[in-house]
Amino acid sequence: MKGLKAEDRVANSLRGAGAHVIKSPGSRGSADLIATWNTGKEWMVQVKYSKTGRPAGLSSQEQKNLVSRANRHKATPVLAQVTPGKIKYLSVKSKREIKP
């Protein structure tokens, strides 16, 4: 599974949890996905995939860009760590796991 398949997997997971999900064109920006919840809350999600089972993280520049963009849109910056058997969602600001 490469990046685009991982993004599709995360998008489907978020949709299953009740979010409306939009994929960023080309997925080259700070957020790969934008998830909007029924409550009006919004997540800006950067998806990272690792086939080794060790979750991948954001570079300091990726983190800075994601937080900045999320702040402008009053959204929550989220890292989705995808491994072959799991998707883990982390708040980029608090570094804590969050549930969709």
Please state, in angstroms and as integers, the Cα–Cα distance from residue 24 to each residue in 27, 51, 86, 95, following that order. Answer: 5, 23, 22, 23
pLDDT at position 9 over 60: yes
pLDDT in tens, 10-65: 999 999 999 999 998 755 678 999 999 999 999 999 999 988 878 788 999 999 99
pTM of this prediction? 0.91
